[in-house]
Amino acid sequence: MLDILFEDDDLIVINKPAGVLSIPDRFGKTLSIKSLLQDKYGNIFTVHRLDQATSGLIIFAKNAEAHKELSLLFEGRTIEKKYLGLVVGRPEQSGSIDGSIMEHPVKKGQMYIHVKGKVALTTYEVVTYYKRYALVSFQIHTGRTHQIRVHAKHMGHPIIADEIYGDGEKLLLSSIKKKNFKLSKSEEEEKPLLARHALHAHTLKLVFKEKAFAFEAPLPKDLAATIKQLDKWNAA
């Protein structure tokens, strides 16, 4: 479960799988990366979080001093954080979304863009265009809850399979191959290529204690397989 990409005396970098919480929920009964780390190391400090369905890079601190310094780096926008995401439609080649974000007053657990929200800035660049989708590299310059997902919706190109900010429809191979798709004889029902929102925390760069760090999390199997099929059947 713990895919440790790097660790030293101060920090530990994990490649988080989709579907696992970053930190325990309020009941403390659901498996999380932090609880697994606590079982292994004892004291562990939260620096930032990833949504449960988002995969990729997440950093935890091993001591209070490192926690304080890393938290200041994240708050001070001096860390370069890039995500890879598959979006619906074909956005412009590059751009930025500057929209303040706050919690929705009625819809619990949902964020939205509002002038009274916290400042949020995302820049993006399209990596690959497909016929009906695009693979996009997002860089977040602030760290708001659901930031990329909210901003992707705002620009009219929600993250594929996003249940809150998109249509929530799982991506099926039949929707990519169209006429060329056939169920195998052993299958009664088609299994989705991608059953969670298509977002992966891909790279992270920072300078900590006068030392430069650069981390990269390889694509998980579901996203890698989806991109492979899109390259094959849905090329622009």
Q: If the chain, 236 residues long, is cut into consecutive pieces of 10 residues, what is the mean pLDDT of each piece?
A: 94 97 82 95 95 97 97 90 97 97 94 96 97 96 95 98 95 81 70 95 96 97 96 83
Instruction: Quote the CA–CA distance of 203 and 57 in Å, as a whole number.
Output: 7
Count CB atoms within 10 A of the CB of residue 236.
Answer: 11
Q: Given this model, what pLDDT does residue 180 score?
A: 65
Q: Given this model, what pLDDT does residue 29 score?
A: 66
Instruction: Quote the CA–CA distance of 145 and 205 in Å, as a whole number.
Output: 20
Q: Given this model, what pLDDT does residue 127 score?
A: 98
Closest CA to 69 of 179, 232, 210: 210
Q: Which residues are catalytic?
A: 51
Instruction: Quote the CA–CA distance of 138 and 152 in Å, as a whole number.
Output: 10
**How do beta strands 133-140 and 45-46 pair?**
unpaired
Q: Given this model, what pLDDT does residue 78 score?
A: 87
Phi, psi of 198 (to 5 degrees): -85, 75
Residues 6+ apart with CB under 8 A from 128: 134, 135, 227, 230, 231, 236
Q: Report CA-CA distances (Å) from 24 to 48, 49, 57, 59.
A: 13, 11, 17, 15
Q: Given this model, what pLDDT does residue 191 score?
A: 87
Domains within the chain, CATH numbers bracketed: 1-76 (3.30.2350.10), 80-205+218-236 (3.30.2350.10)
127-152 confidence digits (pLDDT tens)? 999 999 999 999 999 999 999 999 99
Q: How many helices (H) and strands (E) does the chain have?
A: 5, 12
CA geometry: angle 176, 182, 187, nearest 5 deg: 110
